[in-house]
Chain A
Amino acid sequence: MTTVAVKPATMAQALTRALRDAMAADPAVHVMGEDVGTLGGVFRVTDGLAKEFGEDRCTDTPLAEAGILGTAVGMAMYGLRPVVEMQFDAFAYPAFEQLISHVARMRNRTRGAMPLPITIRVPYGGGIGGVEHHSDSSEAYYMATPGLHVVTPATVADAYGLLRAAIASDDPVVFLEPKRLYWSKDSWNPDEPTAVEPIGRAVVRRSGRSATLITYGPSVPVCLEAAEAARAEGWDLEVVDLRSLVPFDDETVSASVRRTGRAVVVHESGGFGGPGGEIAARVTERCFHYLEAPVLRVAGFDIPYPPPMLERHHLPGVDRILDAVGRLQWEADS
């Protein structure tokens, strides 16, 4: 048995590799968006693609998000598989009408005759010191729209595997890229064929017995850090990385909560009307008799995303998560 030499790679590199491999495998795959060509994207995720595949396959578009997604709809109608970049979370909002009124429902309104295999890459979330409109967590909007898959990786390997799956999907996929993990490194071997991760499966990142932290995207490393810190308090925390918000993996989440009896949902976006409410309700419906405490949420505050100098107070951090874990002793204390 040979040992594969693995080396550190960043999530951004894995995403680039996924785009390159997808474009090489299928001539129908077209990358498009503002700055994705010559510049290689403001995060360099599309670096080198225009040079390798030509500007017809990796296209710098006019600066217009509705136009980018709207023309991608027409391209998909003609058999292409567009991968569009929205550059920053809040820049995607002008494209919402195309997304919601057309992309999400074209398969449904044509009774299956006109599926739209479009991947919409949205760098999202805070923690990079971005100014206003550069740090939104917009996943709840996408989750609320039937017809879309919503995916967000937290590891380098998943970034590759999930993006390949998204591009291969015959349905539109909103692919949320946690900006502050772009430069996080994992041991990953980009020179070897890399596993494609099917959309819709959560994964247990860390096993534990005392409680489950249910999380995704940029909050996964924070939860893992919190789980390590909680060991000192005698808590053995399990961390579930959802990876896919739609479809939602009830099975993995429920199995974990039934084992531990306690759960905290952790995410950056606001709690009110946010993903955590849906997740907590699902867990409660499925695991009520196993729960030792209410399902708690640790979320961003219900405020417009704050200025960078204050964002550390807004983003769920280790202390806030540990505080919630402490409150899971609710039943014993009451």
Chain B
Amino acid sequence: MTVMEQRGAYRPTPPPAWQPRTDPAPLLPDALPFRVLGTEAAAQADPGLLRRLYAELVRGRRYNAQATALTKQGRLAVYPSSTGQEACEVAAALVLQERDWLFPSYRDTLAAVARGLDPVQALTLLRGDWHTGYDPHEHRIAPLCTPLATQLPHAVGLAHAARLKGDDVVALALVGDGGTSEGDFHEALNFAAVWQAPVVFLVQNNGFAISVPLAKQTAAPSLAHKAVGYGMPGRLVDGNDAAAVHQVLSEAIAHARAGGGPTLVEAVTYRIDAHTNADDATRYRGDAEVETWRAHDPIALLERELTERGLLDDDGIRAAREDAETMAADLRERMNQDPVLDPMDLFAHVYAQPTTQLLEQEAQLKAELDAEADGPHHLGEGAGR
């Protein structure tokens, strides 16, 4: 048998000429970010939803301010504020059903709180108390993820597993513009599209990865354009328009739930505060730029829409602010209590069953703690010989 004959055995016909699998046009994002507020589309929006979004935005803004204040008082080790991005955070939380899962990054404490997580539990990572202050299964919120984009494949895997089990569950994963440069972003989107996993990726493009602007982050026309290469739809939305973000995410989640596979949503927004309280944003951006975005504030946009349509009056605004103050006062008071940590917890959850090596180290720490309680240290017998 010749080599050519062997080849024929597994490739009996010539390969067809290569064709692109689909027309990419339906996958491409629109040229301009989708908007609802201030447009005719706003008339179609559910007034109850708009009012709920508004209340959550006001609470979220206050939450960001309170958490930032707590860093100045030394109560939080660090806080990455989402001021200016509250529309994305709140829409992400409100768009999910209870059975769905949220996969937040370190900046998304607000999304977790808006989903119903206790604000103190949401801050344990940033306080330095414990890495995750809540049971992820209880709220269906994955631990806040500090490495960039590594939570995205988790969201894909969870959504895939849920579908394999026949459960009607969607995962929503949050990532920043900088995170889209990471390898895990690529791998997650590729797996999601190949598996047609019920997952939605929300990129909060807030303009900067710490100090690096988007123009130095990517040469793509938009981050939503990246979807096309994976074979999933890309949607571009005004990230300061809470109604628009909610609508686009709702559609993407419904599409995923119906078996249509993943969607990449890019929300164009802006980080009004610095990267964290430890960062100096004046080194990499000018006041004029920040002021432009302040004029496009997510709360002001929604407030104008609601008042113009007679859905909100001064009393309503006052009520929302008072509710936010109550939340902030409660957070402040509880965060001002010193957490009580048990050093022996260090060994509690490394393995299901501690190894003998860890048991020895546990005994060592116990002895050290006992000795500390007994008074000053003395060299043991035999030392100094």
Contacts and interface: CB of A to CB of B under 8 A. Distances in A.
B184 interface: yes
A76, A78, A146 interface centre (most CB from chain B within 10 Å) = A78
B143 interface: yes
Contacts of A140: none
B310 to A, nearest CB: 45
A67 interface: yes
B132 A110 contact: yes
B11 interface: no
Nearest to A109: B131
A102 to B, nearest CB: 6
A71 B191 contact: yes
Given A64-B190, A111-B132, A73 B162 contact: no
A108 interface: yes
Summarize B's interface: helix, strand, loop or mixed: helix
B136 A62 contact: no
A107 B358 CA distance: 15
A169 B351 CA distance: 10
A188 interface: no
A236 interface: no
A67 B190 contact: yes
Contact of A171 (B162, B194, B352): B352
A112 interface: yes
B357 A111 contact: no
A101 B153 CA distance: 13
B66 interface: no
A74 interface: yes
Contacts of A75: 157-158, 160-161
Interface string B135-147: 1111000110001
B67 interface: no
Contacts of A115: 352
B348 A111 contact: yes
Listed residue (B159, B349, B350) with the most chain A CB atoms within 10 angstroms of its CB: B349
B135 A110 contact: yes
B137 A113 contact: yes
A115 B350 CA distance: 10
A70 B154 contact: yes
Interface string A75-89: 111111010000000
Nearest to B360: A250
A94 interface: yes
Contact of B153 (A98, A109, A113, A171): A98
Contacts of A248: 355-357
Nearest to A170: B352
Interface in A102-143: 102, 105-115
A114 B355 CA distance: 19
A260 B85 CA distance: 68
Nearest to B154: A74
A202 to B, nearest CB: 12
A106 B165 CA distance: 23
A114 B143 contact: yes
A247 B352 contact: no
A194 B17 CA distance: 52
A78 B153 contact: no
Interface string B320-333: 00000000000000
A247 B357 contact: yes
A28 to B, nearest CB: 9
Contacts of A56: 164
B147 A97 contact: yes
Given A62-B190, A66-B187, A250-B356, 5 more contacts: A71-B154, A74-B154, A98-B150, A110-B135, A113-B132
Interface of B: 130-132, 134-138, 142-143, 147, 150, 152-162, 164-165, 171, 183-184, 187-188, 190-191, 194, 345, 348-352, 355-357
15 contacts: A56-B164, A70-B184, A70-B187, A75-B157, A97-B150, A97-B184, A110-B136, A112-B349, A113-B134, A115-B352, A147-B351, A169-B352, A247-B355, A248-B356, A250-B357
Interface of A: 30, 56, 61-62, 64, 66-67, 69-80, 82, 94, 97-98, 101-102, 105-115, 146-147, 149, 169-171, 200, 246-248, 250-251
